[in-house]
Amino acid sequence: MENLLLIIDMQEGFRHAESESVLPNILKLIKSFKGKIVFSKFVNRKISLFEKQLGWFKFQNPEDQKLFLELQASDNIEFEHDTYTVLNNSLKEFIRKNTITKVFLCGIYTDVCIIKTAMDLFDNDIETFVIKDACNSLHGKKNHDSATDSLVHILGKKHILLTDNVCS
């Protein structure tokens, strides 16, 4: 039984003040986390609904898809996803093989990928925690705060943590 730190979509195409603001806490988590650490990377496939329905073409090139330079390492475990959830079959298999029982989420888009992944992990009977001060949204503080408030009801108050709760 092991813990997993899942760092969601900290990619160069999402590099903005909001994503950079959580980088120090993510680096602190990486240094002190007891368990496995994996990174998700969003890839916008050609003819996806992101393209067809939303008219959004970013993340179809390798430059957008790269992890933040500060997070790149040769031994990183990375999983690509092309939907809002990060919990695809490859990640599910990794969780099963490594007997992961608790997943800690951080990264970008609290109101999109983090909340969707948290619900999917919960629905797959995996205890899930969100590290509030290591997440943010490019849609603004109001959306981040609203998503975090919803996550209190979705996961339970004790499952919304701060970096220092995880690093201590």
Q: Could you give the CA distance from residue 157 to residue 151 in angstroms, rounded to a whole number? A: 8
Q: pTM for this one?
A: 0.95
pLDDT tens readout for residues 56-86: 678 788 889 999 999 998 899 999 999 999 9
pLDDT tens readout for residues 141-159: 999 999 999 999 999 999 9
Angle between helices 141-155 and 115-123 (to 10 degrees): 10
Domain that holds residue 28: 2-167
pLDDT value for 58: 80
pLDDT value for 150: 97
Q: Is the alpha carbon torsion for 44, 14, 38, 116 positive or negative?
A: negative
Q: Give the domain CATH number at 77.
A: 3.40.50.850
Contact 136, 108 (CB under 8 A): yes
pLDDT value for 57: 77
pLDDT value for 56: 67
Of the candidates 45, 73, 49, the one whose C-alpha atom is nearest the C-alpha of residue 59 is 45
pLDDT value for 126: 97
Contact 136, 10 (CB under 8 A): no
* Number of separate domains in the chain: 1
Enumerate residue ranges in the chain where pLDDT < 70: 56
